[in-house]
Amino acid sequence: MHDFKYKNSELYAEGVPVREIAEKVGTPVYIYSHNTLLRHLNAYKDAFDGQPHIICFALKANSNPAVLRTLAKNGSGADVVSGGELYLALKAGIPAKKIVYAGVGKTDNEIAQALKAGILMFNVESSDEMAAINRVAGSLKVKAPIALRVNPDIDPKTHPYISTGLKESKFGIPIEKALENYRLAKKLPNLEVVGIHKHIGSQITTLQPFVDALKKVIKLINTLRDEGIEIKNIDIGGGLGIPYNDEHPPHPKDLSKAIQPLLKDIGLNIILEPGRSIAGNAGIFVTKVLYKKKHPKKEFVIVDGGMNDLLRPSLYSAFHNVLPLKKNSRKKTRYDIVGPICESGDFLAKERELNSLSQGEMIAVMSTGAYGFTMSSNYNSRPRVAEVMVKGGKFYTVREREKYRDLVRGTKVPDFLK
């Protein structure tokens, strides 16, 4: 569900015509709906109401400060994977005690930063990392709260690039090695074992992989208990899919219902790390048609937004629906919608039947609120785009479009070149 709907053939973001925003702020631009973000967060809150839990929004999906502030003000915690994300989460007012920190390559500096902030727990991905956290905590004379990220070897049946819980994946500690790593953690003087973590992948559209993975994790928790290793938090990761096209992913309520029988007697604080299912359908990417051209086998629409602004189609062949800002009844044409980047892989949509588009017309690339702006870059020396948040009948620029001078920020030409 989202708040980007047609009224009288014109696409609106909540109560504002998208065209109005694009004309004022320019294109390309990301537009987020405050209402959708909140509704999605509340869906999780309601689904897990009545049992101890924390919703830790995965910042990698969208780390715009206004988005984070929206979620923070409504009780969200954060799942972070870098010092930068930790900084942004804290700056948005997310309490450190609601922050979990995953990622396979945490540096000493990042570990120290998180320890000083007093985060809820590190989701540790290897024994080397465990040793590093123990060492850094020792030097700061604190105890580091840790969970082990276990890899349950479950196929989430999603795109291979976003599957993380398989044996061949770089993430987590293989579940059969978890016990020995927990024993090791128990022995390290500056660590406090407080939890267990798993995340098996992203854009998962069925419940079974969640259930299967959780069963394995609970078996492990029972083994740990038998060994006298008691934990407080079970972090079940993120990964719930969203409808991009004709998928029917489960609702957070369905997820809750499916895993409830497994969790109800376990007496642990449940942590969830949704990213896409909160932000994905809360955002659109608006871009303008610059040119059209017909090749013998293809008809192209060249727009002002490219793979540097929205990478998902190029990187994962991801499908994003494309809608005109104004509905019309022009004849249907099959287009490849491509960007201005000098790469054949630069496309936003392929073989898409649309009412024919004209130069200067604007289109919305839907479901781009997650992994849209956060994966954007300056490739081809293109300033990164603006971001806008809509609330009711008003809109706010929540990130200015970069300027050319931003392209040289921090760079230096050595004296010998002057």
Residue with smaller CB distance to ligand LLP, 109 or 317: 317
Least distance between ligand LLP and beta carbon 279 (Å): 8
Cis omega (within 30 of 0) for bond into 324:
no
Q: How far is residue 385's CA from residue 373's CA, in Å, rounded to a whole number?
A: 8
Locate all alpha helices (DSSP H) within 127-207, ordered by sequence: 127-140, 175-187
Q: Tell me the residue length of the chain.
A: 418
Least distance between ligand LLP and beta carbon 223 (Å): 23
Least distance between ligand LLP and beta carbon 326 (Å): 29
Least distance between ligand LLP and beta carbon 161 (Å): 7
Least distance between ligand LLP and beta carbon 112 (Å): 21
Contact 150, 173 (CB under 8 A): yes
Query: Is the dihedral angle over the CA atoms 280, 281, 283, 288 positive or is it negative?
Result: positive
Residue 342, sorted as left (phi over 0), alpha (psi -120 to 50) or beta, turns out to be beta
Residue with smaller CB distance to ligand LLP, 255 or 289: 255
Residue 200, sorted as left (phi over 0), alpha (psi -120 to 50) or beta, turns out to be alpha
Q: How far is residue 364's CA from residue 367's CA, in Å, rounded to a whole number?
A: 9
Residue with smaller CB distance to ligand LLP, 43 or 61: 61
Which residues are catalytically annotated?
Answer: 342
Find the helix packing angle between 83-91 and 65-73, rounded to 10°.
Answer: 60
The contact set with ligand LLP (CB under 6 A) reads: 58, 60-61, 79, 102, 162, 164, 199, 202-203, 237-240, 273-277, 312, 316, 370-371
Beta strands (DSSP E) in 308-360 are 322-324, 332-338, 347-355
